[in-house]
Structure 1
């Protein structure tokens, strides 16, 4: 998911921040949604937003 998709789903950065238990400024600093936050958002939204599958190098 992209940062803009997450913000759009929640309606604002403030609401997203509250849902994640982080500050508004923390989210503003993201270039991309961190991987673990993506999984947290996926769980909070009950799958409405999906975490990107990261390809792990062995």
Structure 2
């Protein structure tokens, strides 16, 4: 889930933080893609208007994989 979509939906950083019951600074620390736990919460509280997409959070790191 993209940070920009969440901020647009809620109307800014402070309002998103309030809706998610987290600090303003926590939202400011998000990267382009928000943390998975918060993405699931956003989908729930927006009643699916913003979708949690599990594939965005799949690990693609193959380091250490056996050939």
TM-score between the two structures when normalised by the length of structure 1? 0.88
1:56 CA drift (Å)? 6.0
Question: Unaligned stretches of 5+ in structure 1?
Answer: none
2:64 alignment partner in structure 1: none
Question: Unaligned stretches of 5+ in structure 2?
Answer: 61-67
1:42 CA drift (Å)? 0.1
Aligned pairs, number: 57
The CA RMSD over aligned residues, in Å, is: 1.4
Please list the CA deviations of residues 26-50 of structure 1 after superposition, one character each: whole Å capped at 9, or x if unmatched. Answer: 1000112100100000000000000
- Cα distance in 1 for partners of 2:10, 2:19 equals 9
- Cα distance in 1 for partners of 2:53, 2:27 equals 18
2:23 alignment partner in structure 1: 23
- Cα distance in 1 for partners of 2:42, 2:29 equals 17
Q: Which 4+ residue blocks in structure 1 deviate beyond 6 angstroms?
A: none
TM-score between the two structures when normalised by the length of structure 2? 0.77
